Every structure is written in C-alpha cells, then in structure tokens.
C-alpha cells in the first residue's frame, strides 16, 4: 500500500491561489497600484508595498529557468515517482515559481524549455499546478 502524498496547507496569503488551482485556474497576485505580478503570494506587493491587489488569471505559460532531477526518495509517498524534476519556472508575466515538470522524460528537460501549466488532482479537494512542455 502506497503512502499518501503530503498536500499543501494554505496560509491566508496563498488560500486564493490554491482555491483557483482546485478549479484548474492559474491565478497569481497582481498589484492594482503598480501592475506588478509576484509569487509566492504575500500580504502586499513586493514592488511598491501596496495592499491593493487581486489574484488574477495569468497565461500559465513560461520557460524552465533552472531545474534538478531527484533520483533519491526523500519521502515514502514519492517512491514510485523517482526520478522526477523539480524546476524553477519563469512565467511569461515575470514571476518564478518552484514546481514539477511532468509529461516528459526527465532527460529531455532543459533550461529555456517552453512549458505550460497543468493540474495534478492529488485528492482531498487539492489540485497542484505543475508544468509540461508547451
């Protein structure tokens, strides 16, 4: 019997992000004062410190900025997943986020590879945004 994977426990600042993901929508904070997008979510814009922002749908497109391939099992629930790729993806809108690259053999992942968001329904009403080649 496989162990259940850990699921995100949203902080108040990230709850809208996870709620959108549950509906297979990709939304990140967007400042209404200066127009800046950022990730991870926080209580104010890191560019201008305004608290006037909204979670806004974004393209879900980007490129692999950097990545590492995990060959070791660090959590028993991921035993059947190794090897897997953890990547820093730079979104078209600018922010970078830590995620997984899926749907491609690990040896084919490269920096600058165009990717797009997909959603992994992991249970308990949680969906995790991941990325696949565009």
In 16-60, the DSSP E strands lie at 27-31, 53-57
CA distance 23 to 119: 9
Instruction: Say if residue 1's pLDDT is above 60.
Output: no
What's the whole-number average pLDDT of the chain? 95
Distances (CA, A) of 92 to 63, 115, 117: 8, 10, 12
Q: What is the pLDDT of residues 55-66, one digit of tens each?
A: 999 999 999 999
pTM: 0.92
Q: Report pLDDT digits (tens) over 69-117.
A: 999 999 998 898 999 999 999 999 999 999 999 999 999 999 999 999 9
The structural domains of the chain, ordered by start, are 12-58 (no CATH), 59-134 (2.40.50.840)
Q: Which residues contact 57 (CB under 8 A, 6 or more apart)?
A: 20, 25, 26, 27
Q: How confident is the model at residue 47 (pLDDT cuts 50, 70, 90)?
A: very high
Q: What is the pLDDT of residue 34?
A: 98
Neighbours of 117 (CB within 10 A): 22
Could you give the CA distance from residue 52 to residue 94 in angstroms, rounded to a whole number? 19
Q: What is the mean pLDDT of residues 15-35?
A: 97
């Amino acid at each position: 019997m496989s162990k259940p994977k850990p699921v995100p426990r949203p902080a108040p600042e990230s709850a809208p992000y996870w709620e959108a993901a549950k509906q297979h929508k990709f939304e990140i904070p967007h400042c209404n004062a200066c127009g800046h997008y950022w990730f991870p979510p926080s209580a104010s814009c890191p560019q201008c410190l305004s608290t006037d922002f909204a979670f806004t749908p974004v393209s879900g497109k980007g490129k692999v900025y950097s990545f590492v391939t995990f060959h070791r099992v660090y959590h028993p629930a991921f035993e059947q997943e190794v090897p897997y790729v953890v990547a820093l993806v730079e979104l078209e809108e600018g922010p970078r986020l830590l995620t997984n690259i899926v749907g491609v053999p690990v040896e084919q992942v490269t920096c600058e590879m165009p990717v797009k968001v997909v959603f992994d329904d992991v249970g308990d009403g949680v969906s995790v945004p991941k990325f696949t080649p565009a």
